[in-house]
Amino acid sequence: MGDLDFLSFIVDAIEDTSSLNAIKYQYFHQLLYKRTVIFNNEVEESIIESVYLPLKEFEEDDSDEPITLILNSMGGSVSDGFFFANYLTHFKKKLNIIVCGYAASMAAVILAAGGKNPNITRYCYPSTYGLIHDGYVALSASEAKTANDI
């Protein structure tokens, strides 16, 4: 399967499992041909299909053209976010990360990932904002058991 065939397969798989309409589908499909991936959802397991797989394919192809990741997310899952952040830390090709609106919570961690990686360049618009906050843990049990565990 050629590089573009594989990317087309990914777009088809994403389209089959989401509510993308035909216009959005065509738009996202064309962006892949321009080596551009959009990450505009919650940080969750689905980023493996919609963001990680296309980036991995671009990273392994023969092109020297830079790759663009457009990031606009309010954050989400810590474990899925760290998976993606760790991947970016060792990204082997030129990657431009552009934040158009916001990179909040786990998305801000993803934006900061690979800070020492010379292949990654970050761009933000003047009105872009980021948010990093304290973490939290949710416990569910009786009050006495929770107090004892802590």
| Residue 67: strand pairing partners | 95
The catalytic residue positions are 105, 133
DSSP 120-145: EEEEE-TT-EEE---------S-HHH
Cα–Cα distance list, 112 to 24, 64, 105, 122, 131 (Å): 28, 23, 11, 9, 12
